[in-house]
Amino acid sequence: MGAVPRRPAALLARLVGGTLVGATGLYATVALLAPLPAIEGRAVERASVSTPLETVELPPYGASAVGPLAEAGVVYAGVDLDTPRPIASITKLVTALVVLEKAPLALGEQGPTITLDVAAGSLDEQYIARNGSFAPAYEGLQLSQRQIIDLMLVWSANNYADTLAIWAFGSLEAYVDAARAWVARSGLDGLTIVDATGFSPQSSATPRALLELARLAVAHPVVADSTALQRIDVPGVGAFENRNTALGADGITGLKTGTTEEAGACLLFSGRGEVDGQTVDIVGVVLDADVHAQAARDARTLLASVVDDYRAVAVGAAGEVVARWRAPWGAEARLVVADDTRVLTWGEASSQSFVPVPALEAGVTPPADPTLVVQLGDEQRRVPLRWSGKIEGPDLAWRLLRPLREWGILAG
């Protein structure tokens, strides 16, 4: 008999070989097309920073308050914040703001000419008789609106406060109605107006409300400019020094005095200091001092003590790594602080950091403009970050070997 044909063996070999090739191709296809995992990030632990407890030197008498100019409603410290007290000539700031709302002036403008009539010309005599502050006046005297504002705010002339209010509104009664409506619109809870001068003890306010009044006064260019004048010279009336003797000393920049028997000596002030090359603006009030020199001295002390409680805090150093991402195939990305960052904070505070750690996709551009949020006391500060590195996709070899690693056939 002849030899048995070997065709089946060859066929089997071809079948097995074909199966292996097919399986290999399938494996490769699955391996290459398998979706890549999202890469989770890990925040780098950051040390907390802290600042010491504030030490504000409030006057030991009357009532007082102090706070930042730019933050409405914020009071750093105070005494008897919500009890209304007579505010004397601080009231004239309201007169100025209410009249300027009715008859606006831009900084540098004099405004319309106001001719004093018989009643206005005799108001100085009335305040002389009442032992109130005044400046000379007479019938027929012509002054600009701005000159009368300066006489009212710099020299605190009661007769010119009444003159301005009557000129703008026709009568003191109409002015008081307008002033009360303005107070309500401005949200100045705790401020009561019954006259244009503050000579009445019923014109009163809480220290908290006075800080808000100070913020409004500083925000008005004409009022802020007038209260910052050291001296005025008004033709036909005279030359006068600002009654605010603290003005220009130790950072005091403006606003208004007031003195009556009921109110004592009062000073609503604005002030400025410099901390780490940055300017800090403050408003404050001292009520019911014995004499103005005491109010002025204590306002300066109060301002200095508040400025001393500001701290420049380093919350980020350029290049500091705050989060890392590492892909299984070795690609890495990092979030780093873009620039040295310092923030100014007031009083006692400690920090917490919140780092963005989004999942990253291979080959996909990461989120733009990332920021680190630093909670410092009651405030949040955002620190710009930048990306370093990028999660690129793996190479061919890693993709082909990935299933073997996941099945536990290949270590690593």
With bands split at pLDDT 50, 70 and 90, how would you rate the model's confidence at 14?
low
Residue 205 token pair: 């306010």
Which of 51-55, 275-279, 378-382 has the weakest average pLDDT? 378-382
With bands split at pLDDT 50, 70 and 90, how would you rate the model's confidence at 311?
very high
Which of 192-196, 264-268, 280-284, 347-351 has the weakest average pLDDT? 347-351
> Does the pLDDT value for residue 191 go beyond 60?
yes
Residue 227: enclosing H or E segment and its boundaries? helix 221-227
Alpha-carbon distance of 267 to 181, in angstroms, equals 25
pLDDT for the residue 6: 53
> pLDDT (tens digit, 9 = 90+) per residue, 62-96?
999 999 999 999 999 999 999 999 999 999 999 99
> Does the pLDDT value for residue 18 go beyond 70?
no
| b/e per residue 5-23 (b: at least 16 CB within 10 A) | eeeeeeeeeeeeeeeeeee
Residue 264 token pair: 């004592």
User: Can you tell me whether residue 338 is helix, strand or coil?
Assistant: coil
Cα dihedral 176, 179, 185, 187 in deg (nearest 10)? -100
> Does the pLDDT value for residue 12 go beyond 60?
no
Give 333 or 7, the one with higher predicted confidence.
333
Which of 208-222, 305-319, 368-382 has the weakest average pLDDT? 368-382
Question: How buried is residue 281: exposed, middle or buried, by Cβ count under 10 Å (0-12/13-18/19+)?
Answer: middle
With bands split at pLDDT 50, 70 and 90, how would you rate the model's confidence at 170?
very high
Alpha-carbon distance of 235 to 190, in angstroms, equals 38
8-17 mean pLDDT: 57
CA distance to 4, 228, 254, 305, 378, per residue, from 198 (Å): 129, 20, 19, 29, 37
CA distance to 209, 215, 277, 287, 351, per residue, from 64 (Å): 11, 16, 28, 6, 30
Q: What is the DSSP letter of 219?
A: H
> pLDDT (tens digit, 9 = 90+) per residue, 118-151?
999 999 999 999 999 999 999 999 999 999 999 9
* Contacts of 33 by beta carbon, 8 Å cutoff, 6+ apart: none
Give 47 or 16, the one with higher predicted confidence.
47
333 touches 366 (CB < 8 A): yes
CATH 3.40.710.10 domain residues, the chain:
63-308
Strand partners, 64: 79, 286
> With helix as H, strand as E and coil as C, how does 36-68 read?
CCCECEEECCCCCCEECCCCCCCCCCCEEEEEE
pLDDT for the residue 404: 83
Domain 63-308 falls in which CATH fold? Beta-lactamase (3.40.710)
364-375 mean pLDDT: 92
Backbone angles phi, psi at 36, to 5 degrees: -85, 145
With bands split at pLDDT 50, 70 and 90, how would you rate the model's confidence at 380?
confident
> Does the pLDDT value for residue 98 go beyond 80?
yes
Name the average pLDDT for the chain.
Answer: 92
> Does the pLDDT value for residue 190 go beyond 80?
yes
